[in-house]
């Protein structure tokens, strides 16, 4: 067993605190990673605070994990000790169902073992995430990270990167397309960078006037303040696709009005409360409201290679582990530029 330090939530209302536990020693097909950095995703906050339904405590969040391979099982061929490695939002799946076979392990019809607040395939061993010093993961679910990149800026790609890359690619983002990004936070800023790198013209929809300059620096052409309805009018019927990253309940109608006939508004932001949508906002213009969940291992590797090639990395604020609770408060207030990343050696 591998002694592991971490930060964990012990209830929905108490701050995260240091917690020690043991990771399994490597099985023949396992890789043990010494974690260097872990991003702070808003999903960590929703989960730690029980906002999406019951959470199993103690809960060690974190699914934007990068580090170095410390140990490998005897059958592992893809990694050697010392290699850079990444882990995203899930650590196992059945590997045999139709969804696994079509590289969408996040939708495994048997069980996707999510990186935290989930269980291994046995249905009982809890999984603990990346706010921790080590993680043991089956080789097939570990991503390869190219050398020579700022590793702390790679970490957020493992969730924020793939979650935005996947729908941008699926809905045909390329030169000549117009993409809207709603909410300029962790996911939103990656969506802007990736859409721009794919060749699209990007419009950011934000509640924060102070983010305009940053949005333009990140690659957006237009910046719309959403608190004034008038600001939507010039964009009426102009966009091919919207990636909506907002973490709280909001009205979709104004955004839908900016989409072209047949265009799509993709929800990746996972507000805990349900939303109402006016049928007319979709009917007039044959518009589609869609959802998207992270991406499979193959697509995550493709995204990491794309981002390495295009030099697309997250803009981050590196924090010591002791600042985790403060980083949650600032993320909720939208005061993050644009992802907190924990320096795991400070655990």
- Check binding of 331 to Zn ion (CB under 5 A): no
Q: Is 159 in the site for Zn ion (CB under 5 A)?
A: yes
By beta-carbon proximity to Zn ion, the closer residue of 108 and 336 is 108
| Cα(279)–Cα(294) distance, integer angstroms | 27
Q: Which two tokens stand for residue 282?
A: 């979709």
CB atoms within 10 A of CB 298: 12
- Binding positions for Zn ion, 104-123, rule CB under 5 A: 108, 110
Both structure tokens of 199: 């060749």
Nearer to ligand NAP by Cβ, of 79 and 306: the residue is 306
> Rounded CA gap, 190 and 295, in Å?
15
Instruction: Compute the least distance from the CB of residue 41 to Zn ion, in Å.
Output: 3
Please state, in angstroms and rounded to a whole number, the distance separating the CA atoms of residues 4 and 224: 45
User: Which of ligand NAP, Zn ion, none does residue 248 bind to, with CB < 5 to 8 Å depending on kind?
Assistant: ligand NAP
Query: Considering only 54-62, 216-224, 265-273, 320-328, which stretch makes contact with ligand NAP by CB under 6 A?
Result: 265-273
Alpha helices by DSSP H, 219-294 = 253-257, 279-283
Site for ligand NAP in 96-115 (CB under 6 A): none
SS3 state of residue 263: strand
Applying CB under 6 A, does 219 fall inside the site for ligand NAP? no
Which two structure tokens, joined as six digits, stand for 261?
């006939």
Q: Report helix angle 186-197 to 160-170, nearest 10.
A: 40
Answer positive or negative: Cα dihedral of 131, 35, 78, 197.
Answer: positive
Taking the complex as a whole, the smallest distance from the CB of residue 142 to ligand NAP amounts, in Å, to 19
Q: Which is nearer to Zn ion, 119 or 253 (CB)?
A: 119
The owner of tokens 């990746």 is: 268
> Is residue 268 close enough to count as binding ligand NAP by CB under 6 A?
yes
Catalog residues that contact ligand NAP under the rule CB under 6 A. 41-43, 46, 159, 163, 183-188, 206-208, 211, 245-248, 250, 268-270, 292-294, 331, 334, 336
Catalog residues that contact Zn ion under the rule CB under 5 A. 41, 43, 93-94, 97, 100, 108, 110, 159
């Amino acid at each position: 067993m591998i002694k592991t330090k971490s930060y964990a939530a012990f209830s929905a209302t108490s701050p995260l605190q240091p917690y020690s536990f043991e990771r399994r020693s490597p099985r023949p097909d396992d890789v043990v990673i010494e974690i260097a950095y872990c991003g702070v995703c808003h999903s960590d906050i929703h989960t730690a605070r029980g906002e999406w339904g019951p959470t199993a405590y103690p809960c060690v969040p974190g699914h934007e994990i990068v580090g170095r391979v410390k140990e490998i099982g005897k059958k592992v061929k893809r990694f050697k000790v010392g290699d850079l490695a990444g882990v995203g939002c899930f650590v196992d799946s059945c590997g045999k169902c139709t969804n696994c076979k079509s590289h969408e392990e996040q939708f495994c019809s048997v069980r996707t073992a999510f990186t935290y607040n989930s269980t291994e395939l046995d249905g009982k061993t809890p999984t603990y995430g990346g706010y921790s010093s080590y993680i043991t993961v089956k080789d097939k679910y570990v991503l390869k990270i190219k050398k020579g990149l700022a590793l702390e800026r790679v970490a957020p790609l493992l969730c924020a990167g793939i979650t935005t890359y996947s729908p941008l690619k699926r809905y045909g983002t390329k030169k000549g397309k117009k993409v809207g990004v709603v909410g300029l936070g962790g996911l939103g800023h990656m969506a802007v960078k990736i859409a721009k790198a794919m060749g699209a013209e990007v419009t950011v929809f934000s509640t924060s006037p102070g983010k305009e300059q940053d949005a333009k620096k990140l690659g957006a052409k237009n910046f719309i303040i959403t608190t004034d309805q008038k600001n939507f009018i010039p964009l009426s019927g102009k966009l091919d696709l919207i990636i909506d990253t907002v973490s709280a309940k909001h009205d979709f109608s104004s955004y839908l009005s900016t989409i072209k006939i047949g265009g799509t508004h993709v929800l990746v932001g996972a507000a805990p409360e349900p939303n109402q949508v006016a049928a007319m906002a979709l009917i007039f213009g044959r518009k589609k409201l869609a959802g998207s969940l992270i991406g499979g291992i193959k697509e995550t590797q493709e995204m990491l290679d794309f981002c390495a090639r295009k030099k697309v990395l997250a803009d981050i604020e590196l924090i010591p582990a002791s600042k985790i609770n403060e980083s949650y408060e600032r993320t909720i207030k939208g005061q993050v530029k644009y992802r907190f990343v924990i320096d795991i050696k400070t655990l």
